[in-house]
Every structure is written in structure tokens, then in C-alpha cells.
A and B are shown apart, each in its own frame.
Chain A
């Protein structure tokens, strides 16, 4: 069940009313949220609940133990064993369901190429709903408790809701314990502001995901990628550019909807996308795109690597590469994602070294500082950043490395000559995406201010118009949700 499916039209109003009709006590509210969340999992398949509940019990017990033994030197070994147990269970389940087939087939292929016979079983397992997201959230919690950054959950109920809160299980945002668990440990109250901001976020998310992203995907991206040989060079560039917008609409839209639903239950989830196409450097891009995953990767992979006493200490470039390889692998069990991660790791390394060089120039001559503030530097930096991101989406969207290579080659010379399939719907969707970003810039701040200064009834009319448009243009449960597959 995703937020754009018809089930959700029935599910949300019912669980929302039940939640707010119950006494405003932590226990009652969290019990309602847990029941709703488990129902949400069960709708995918009730068998997945066993995995969710087992992982929750393990991490709750480990967290409680780690919390009790914080600062106790004699228990260091047992604390490490407890931590290892939790990580093995959580990451082991993720590895088994998500990567077993990938690693088994890769090892088989490698051994075959070396002349050995190998037939490791390649299991084609369905990826349990949300496992990539809730696993990282739990691992983050256990590590935070282990390092003493956050106290353990007070009750099993609080922790169970923290790891299964239904708005975020499908595709994040991935919350830190300090963000979500702390909210779950106090009673929530529905305020007009939360309701209004929740509904607005949900509607904006629906526009981005339910209409804009899916329109660009169905009308432009899928035809170009699926029948690449029929299209000319221009269509290939338009296709991959469109894919960047599709993925953004799909994921940023869904994240916004999750945030909106969270607010309806009195819970503020972390922002996951902050207008990434305004970025002028790769590090800035990754601070704006899938924010909660990237900060997780930097909190729990990059920082421990570079600050530990091991080999990685001080080797920032290598740690960057490892971090982005992990990001690629997280996105999918396929060499195309590994390549995508490697390209971004290398991009980050190049940027870091370029930044070092540029700072050296700035220290020698202040004119370089002014150049960096010029509009043309900003434009060039934006073009390089967004251009690099868009180009790396070729392997990201392709089914295998060979297909990615073929597609990339056709971006410069293609046997086909068909023009990009850009109709009025795609053009409108692209304009909405551009407008969504531009409104965030200071140049268009006046638009936002004037809009929000309108009388509430008039603003309501505009929301109504958007809903009418969505009802005319989008079927219930249109398209697929890209990030649910990760």
C-alpha cells in the first residue's frame, strides 16, 4: 500500500480518526500508531510482520542492555557482543533478502571465469516492505545508544512505533532516535498548524509524485529507455534529463507525503529533499538530495571510518569512495548501482581536491574569492553539478552495465532519429518542477509571500483547483514508486 493507492484512501481516515479519538496519552496514541503500522505492513503481506517484530525485539533488548551498561568498563566485551548481535540480525536480514541473489550470482560468475565450477543458489526473494529503510533506522538507534549519544527507548511500545511508523516505512525519511523517538515519548496534540502544514505537504507531494513524476516517466523516460534504438541523440539527452526529474518527483513527492501524513498524527519527520536542483556543488547536492540517507551514511560510515584509529583515519578520499559505494549498493543489488555510487564517490573526491586547490588560490589572491561569488561561476558550477548528476543516472536507470554503455553511446550517436516524446503533459510537469525550485529562491520569494497572504478561502480555492486537476489527470494508484524498490 502506498500513499497514492486506493487502499490508502480508506486506511488513512480510519486510522487517523481512531488515533485522535483515543485519550491523549502516550500509551494509547502509540498503541494506535503501532496497530496502524502493523496493519500497513500486513497489507503488503502479513508474513513480513514476523521479520519486523523479531528485529524490533532484538534491537529493543540490545538497546536496553547498552543503555544500562553505558560507561561500565568491565562490560565492554559483552556490549560489543550485544552490538554485533543487533547488527548481524538487522544487516544480515537486509543482506539475505536484498543481496543474496546479487552476491551469489556474482561469485558464481567470477569463479566460472576463473575456471572453477560454482553453483551457489540464487534465491529470488521478494524484498520485504521497507527493509532498506527501517534497518538503517534501527542500526542508527543501536549505534547511537552504544556511543551514548541517545538514551534507550523507555518502553517496547515506543521503540516498536519508532521502527515501524507507517508513513516512513515505505521509503523514509530515515529518522534519528533524537528526532522521532523523542516525539513518541510524549503525548501529541493536533494543532491547526500541523493539520494545515500536513495537508499542504501531502498535496504538494501528490502533485510531484502522482502527476509530475509519473507523467514524465510514462510519457518521456520509459519510451526512450525501453526503445532506445528508435530515438535520436536529442531524445536520449531529454530522456535522461527527464529521468532526473522523474526520480525527484517520485521520491521527493513521496517523502513530502510521508512528512504530511506524519504531521497529521502530530509528528514532525525530518526533511528529505531541500530543492536539490538548486545545488552548485556535489557536496551541496548530497546535502539536499535524500538528506536522511546521506547523513546516515556520513554519521555511521564516513565519520567512524575517518575518526577511528584504523587505516582509514585521515584518508578522506578513500572514505568518501567507500561511503558512496555503500550508497550505490544500498540503492540496489546490481553492478549499475555500484558504478553509480563509484562515480559519485569519485565526483566528491574531485570536488574536494578542486576545493583545496581553489582555496589555495584564494589565499594567494583575494580576486579568486570574488570570482567564486560571480554569477558566471555560480552558473558554471550549477551546470557541472546538475549535469554530472544527470549523466550518472544512465547506469542508475539501466538494467545492466551493457545497456548503460549502449545508452551512453547513443547520447552521442544513435541509429534512431525519433524526436523526444514531449507532449503538453510532460512540458507542464517539467514547468511545475522548475517552478517548485524557483519559488524557493530569493528572487521569487515575493510570490510565496503574496500567495500565503491571500485570504484562507481563496487559498482553499487554489488547493481545490489542484485537486480537481489531479483527479482529471491521475488515476488512482498510477505508475510505480521507484524508491520502494530500493
Chain B
């Protein structure tokens, strides 16, 4: 219900409307054609159009569309997307499900940051500073196999926005754990057996904090529960040059064992429980966090997910209060660490709606091994 942010859109953006105006009818078909959203237009200009073969309720498809649409808006469509191997690549590219409406490169699995670096450098060498580069990958391609290249991209401060769509495991190959898989979650390689079922506690990698530790100009986390927040962060990221990192939590009905209709609800609960801190950092310092408005116990987040079914009885009562407690402690720690509950003050530093500056958060000095659920 807001209008595109730029006051002076380039000619190529004329006629591209990403927001509903006036009515909530699907695609605004009751409106004058000039006022309709792109979804109502058969020549629609979303970066990722319909027709791909993501699962129902795929958080990654939702996150990727809003992210790249926001990049398109911020750049007037002058952009290149580099995509690592993963679900997003697989469900969006085979003919006839080809869904990208942007210049798009599939790199390999672990090298998307390096390939994006090369694209950005070549554009710069040719004086094409108007064309911006986005690289995107899932959590496996970011935190595991791609981390070496990504750290190099951060270190050189290459002019690339790298987006990690984190669904917390290798979903494309059959739900094996990644180092972004949270503790106690069942995957194909961390079965729910033995005294410590699921993924072990004390492992995992918090990539947003690792990115912040590189002192790059901009790092942010977001979820698909707050798409306007996601878009605002993309906009902010595109307003600066240099290496930028955006980590988006995207629930996966297949791998999480959740109902497709719960994707947005689970993303919201991940934030509202404190398991996934939503924050922004500039040049190595956390500058804003999204406040938890209706705090929920982690149980509410865990119970609807099949990957945590071993923590509950059939009637939904806690079967493993010790493990649920361990996850609650991680959430509590995030709340303390990033000041996720502190409210009210410094409202002017955020964008309103719960965003605020952190109270004494010092993530740069924090241990990257701490499983905060944000990794």
C-alpha cells in the first residue's frame, strides 16, 4: 500500500507496479489496468514469475521473489543474479518451469560469491557501475561449501549483495543436515534416535555474525513473515556499495515437516520466540534489531514441525523437556544478547514498527560457534 520508493524512476521502470493499491481483490482485477499490480498482468515483470516447481508453501520462492523484485526496483532492472546450486536453482530453471525474468547465472555449488565477484569486477572495469550484482544461495551453499568463497568476497569488499535463503538443511538432496541446521532437528543424517536425537547441540555456524565480523558495510537478517521489512533491507543494501549480506529465514514444508499454510506463521514464530534474531549491522556493528512484540515459548514454534516431532508426545505434550529447554535457552540467550525485548526507546533510529537500536550488543566479539538459530 506504499508506492515505489524512488521519486524519479528510470524509464524502464515505468508501468511496473509491485504493490496493491486500492483494493485487496486478487491482482486488483477490478481496478483500472493502469493501477493493477504486476501479478494481474500477463506480461508481469516479477524477477521470479509463476510456473516454477517449488513445493506448496515454499518459503524460499517467496523470499527470492520479494528480494529480487526489490533489487530490480532499486536498480531499475539493471542487475545480474548469480545463483548457486540448490533448491532455488532446481525448481526455477528447467524448461518449461523457467521462471527468471532477470539476467541469471547458475554457478556451481560453492562458488557463487566468487563468480559474482568476477561479474562485478568485469562490469566495473567496463565502467558499467549502473549494473548491480546479486548472488544467492541456500544455507548449504552459503555456510558450508560456499563459505570460503564468501569470506573472500567479504574480505575484498566486492560490490555484491549476497543473499542466503536459509531453510536450515540440504533440502534438494533429501534433507541432510547443514551447519545451519538447528539443534535437535531431525534430518536424514541426524536421525531422531539415541539419547540425543536429531542434530547435536553445540554445533553449527552463525553466518550473520561471521559476516558482521568481516566489518562489511551492511549485514541484515530477515524472515518471509515480514516481507516489507525484507524489501526495506534489500533497498538499504542496494543503497551502498561493497560487500553486503542478507540472511533470510525461509521455512521449508518438506524438510521441516510443516503444513504449507504454516510457512509464514513459522517464520514469524522463529522471530517471536527469539530463535531467529532479526537485525541489521553496518560496518561490524549491530545498528537495529526488530523487537519481539508477542513473545512465545519455543514450544509453540517447535510443535507444528515434524522435524521436532520426537520432542513431543502424540498429544503435543513435551516428551523431551530437556531438549526443548535447551532450545529455549538458545532463544533466551539471543534475547539477552541482542536486546530483542527491550522496547520503546530509540524508535527514531529504526523504521518504527518495533525496530530499535540494540542495547549493548557486541556480536563482533561473540563466539561464532554459538548456535543462536540465526545461522
A and B co-occur in one complex: no
Interface residues in chain A, defined as those with a beta carbon under 8 Å from any beta carbon in chain B:
none
Interface residues in chain B, defined as those with a beta carbon under 8 Å from any beta carbon in chain A:
none
